[in-house]
Chain A
Amino acid sequence: MTTPRRSSTPPLRSPLEQRRGDPGVRLRIVLIACGVLAAAYGAWSLLGEDPRDLLDAALWLAGGVVLHDFVLAPLVLVLALAVRRWLPEAWRTPVVVATIVLGSTTLVAIPVLGRFGARPDNPSLLDRPYVAGWLALLALGLLAVAGHALAQRRRATRTSRRSDGADPGR
């Protein structure tokens, strides 16, 4: 980029208006047109489906956004506040890292943890001890967090002791 700018995301309007002949702007307009066509094809290909099924699909589409934006994201906000408020500093980063890693893996694992698709006539499907596997992952994560936090604390006490000796005036 040759134009460093301190402002946040530049609005689409100004560059489009100022530099209509710019190849970058032309590329963006072509991309937008392609995107609109692809999305329209997708919507059009659903038209033959039963209206009741379409309503169900629409509910699932909207439900995903609502669940993320107004349930999961606020929950993460509350979690972050709790971490900042109650966790000692050395524990914060490892706990946040473990929560991102294990939390997202847990979401992926919901269908197998619940074994919702299991069928008595097909023992080759969902044939692992999922809760045990998930608990093992959780335990590994907790061990890593504890190990990291303890190592950090030991390092911190060592450096503070050393600096105490070097700079008695502090």
Chain B
Amino acid sequence: MRPPAPEHFTSRLRSPAVAARVGTWLGIAFGLCFLTGVYSHVAQLPDPWIALPTRPSWFYRVTQGLHVTAGVASVPLLLVKLWSVYPHLFTRPPRARRDLLLHGLERASIGVLVAAAVFQLVTGIANSAQWYPWAFSFRATHYAIGWVAIGALVIHIAVKLPTIQQALTSDIDDAALDRPAMSASGGLSRRGLVRTTWVAAGLAVLATAGSTVPALRRVSVLGVRSGDGPQGVPVNKSARAAGVLESAVSPDFRLVVAHGDLSVSLTSADLAEMPQTTADLPIACVEGWSASATWTGVRVRALLDLVGAPVGVPVTVTSLQEHGPYRATILPGNFAADDLTLLALRLDGEPLDIDHGFPCRLIAPNRPGVLQTKWVTRLEVSA
């Protein structure tokens, strides 16, 4: 059996006119994923090289929701884009050595682009459903391949720029850029295929985005979360998974606030007697789901004042949970100083559910959910 050749593909739909139009939106979606992804990566760094703002408090909720939504929309866009250029996979390499080198480089850059693009969508969508069928670290690898994908995409756009310009400035049915073999007509038109792609992207978004857009909850039949949970708020890591079922409800529980040699030890009752602040703040998870809730508790700033910590210094927040990369996290100075950064004791007026971090949890504006540490037992400022 001989391998297929580009001239065996005769559909008029497999045209640069289609590829450039779908590719434009795919490029925009990947650009959005990249920017929001880098933002999320920086927000999760223990010691970010720039101070991220604490306001607006919903900002991370929006960027991370956009990240996952743009990724989901990219699935149909990428599939149709790849379908429209599939014949080029079977292009024979040129004979001349010089052409061969450029041809090889371009093919290699496209191979890297396709591999990275598929990898990002597959790992990202699996991660949003907390499915990890691989051994590598999701966060480090998804971040690194994100740079590879955007780099390969920029190279691809640069190489194809004249074709893209010509395709986008002429009518979609213009045959100027078509391969000579493209003769088959009838059935779906190019305009029809492009519109179908938009509908597919729209449906994929509607069917999943309810995990972060409350108005879509009823429509999003394929959303990772319905938005329900203990006290009406979903949970990412349960008390059982964190191994705190006993320590969190123990009468020996103490919150220690330390600054150099100075430290105070507080019981839950001590915390409840301090001045309380109530704030509406979202929990916005890196997996893309989010939910807003009303939290009541003690300002972190007020706790730091007990040990005379200077304003604007970073604080190490430690959880009762014994393992996991987020057992201890660093709250940057500007977040520690913010009036809305609370050590929350209550959710919607009720004591926190144990799965939401009883007896007390961190809740700060504009922070990734994994850094909103639950079951907090220690706040420490290095002297």
Residues of chain B with a CB closer than 8 A to A108's CB: 72, 75, 125, 204, 207-208, 222
Q: For residues 113 through 137 of chain A, which have their beta carbon under 8 Å from a beta carbon of chain B? A: 113-114, 116-117, 119, 121-128, 130, 132-134, 136-137
Partner of A56 from B130, B134, B157, B192 at Cβ < 8 Å: B134
Q: For residues 30 through 89 of chain A, which have their beta carbon under 8 Å from a beta carbon of chain B? A: 31-32, 34-43, 45-46, 49, 52-54, 56-57, 60-62, 64-65, 67-69, 72-73, 76
Q: Is B247's beta carbon under 8 Å from chain A? A: no
Inter-chain contact B76/A100, CB cutoff 8 Å: yes
Partner of A112 from B118, B200, B222 at Cβ < 8 Å: B222
Residues of chain B with a CB closer than 8 A to A147's CB: none
> A32 to B155, alpha carbons, bound, how many Å?
5
> A101 to B191, alpha carbons, bound, how many Å?
15
Residues of chain A with a CB closer than 8 A to B222's CB: 105, 108-109, 112-113, 128, 130, 133-134, 137
Inter-chain contact A54/B148, CB cutoff 8 Å: no
Inter-chain contact B102/A97, CB cutoff 8 Å: no
Q: How far is the CB of A147 from chain B (nearest CB, A)?
A: 16
Q: Is A10's beta carbon under 8 Å from chain B? A: yes
> A121 to B245, alpha carbons, bound, how many Å?
12
Inter-chain contact B131/A116, CB cutoff 8 Å: yes
Partner of B200 from A8, A29, A104, A113 at Cβ < 8 Å: A104
Residue from B131, B146, B169, B222 with most neighbouring chain A CB atoms (10 Å):
B222
Q: Is A28's beta carbon under 8 Å from chain B? A: yes
Main secondary structure of the interface of A (DSSP, over half): helix
**Given pairs A27-B158, A121-B238, 8 additional interface contacts (CB within 8 A):** A12-B159, A39-B148, A39-B155, A42-B149, A56-B136, A105-B203, A109-B222, A117-B129
Q: List 29 A-B contacts (CB under 8 A).
A: A9-B177, A24-B161, A27-B161, A28-B158, A35-B109, A35-B155, A38-B148, A38-B154, A41-B151, A42-B151, A45-B143, A49-B141, A56-B134, A56-B136, A57-B134, A60-B119, A60-B134, A65-B114, A92-B187, A101-B196, A104-B200, A107-B75, A111-B128, A112-B223, A119-B238, A126-B224, A127-B226, A128-B222, A130-B221
Residues of chain B with a CB closer than 8 A to A107's CB: 75, 79
Q: How large is the interface on A (under 10, 10 to 19, 20 to 34, 35 or more residues)?
A: 35 or more
Partner of A136 from B179, B221, B229 at Cβ < 8 Å: B221
Inter-chain contact B158/A35, CB cutoff 8 Å: yes
Q: Is A150's beta carbon under 8 Å from chain B? A: no
> A137 to B224, alpha carbons, bound, how many Å?
16
Partner of B140 from A45, A65, A128 at Cβ < 8 Å: A45
> A73 to B75, alpha carbons, bound, how many Å?
14
Residues of chain A with a CB closer than 8 A to B193's CB: 100
Q: Is A93's beta carbon under 8 Å from chain B? A: yes
Interface residues, chain B, with chain A CB atoms under 8 Å away:
16, 72, 75-76, 79-80, 82-83, 86, 89, 98-99, 102, 106, 109, 111-112, 114-116, 118-119, 122-123, 125-126, 128-137, 140-141, 143-163, 165-166, 169-170, 176-180, 187-188, 192-193, 196-197, 199-200, 203-204, 207-208, 221-226, 228-230, 234-238, 240-241, 355
Q: Is A168's beta carbon under 8 Å from chain B? A: no
Inter-chain contact B75/A42, CB cutoff 8 Å: no
Inter-chain contact A64/B152, CB cutoff 8 Å: no
Inter-chain contact A104/B112, CB cutoff 8 Å: no
Residue from A1, A9, A76 with most neighbouring chain B CB atoms (10 Å):
A9
Q: Is A161's beta carbon under 8 Å from chain B? A: no
Residue from B144, B197, B199 with most neighbouring chain A CB atoms (10 Å):
B144
Inter-chain contact A68/B118, CB cutoff 8 Å: yes
Residue from A10, A13, A67, A100 with most neighbouring chain B CB atoms (10 Å):
A100
Inter-chain contact A105/B204, CB cutoff 8 Å: yes
Main secondary structure of the interface of B (DSSP, over half): helix
Residue from A54, A68, A72 with most neighbouring chain B CB atoms (10 Å):
A68
Q: How far is the CB of A34 from chain B (nearest CB, A)?
A: 6
Inter-chain contact B76/A104, CB cutoff 8 Å: yes
Q: How far is the CB of A156 from chain B (nearest CB, A)?
A: 14
Q: Is A11's beta carbon under 8 Å from chain B? A: yes
Residues of chain B with a CB closer than 8 A to A56's CB: 134-136
Residues of chain B with a CB closer than 8 A to A9's CB: 16, 160, 163, 177
Residue from A1, A57, A108, A128 with most neighbouring chain B CB atoms (10 Å):
A108
Inter-chain contact B169/A1, CB cutoff 8 Å: yes
Residues of chain B with a CB closer than 8 A to A111's CB: 125-126, 128-129, 131
Q: Is A143's beta carbon under 8 Å from chain B? A: no
Task: Given A8-B177, A31-B154, A46-B141, answer yes or no on A64-B147 (Cβ-Cβ < 8 Å).
Answer: no
Residues of chain A with a CB closer than 8 A to B125's CB: 108, 111
Task: Given A42-B145, A117-B131, answer yes or no on A53-B179 (Cβ-Cβ < 8 Å).
Answer: no
Inter-chain contact B188/A97, CB cutoff 8 Å: yes
> A67 to B200, alpha carbons, bound, how many Å?
21
Residues of chain A with a CB closer than 8 A to B169's CB: 1
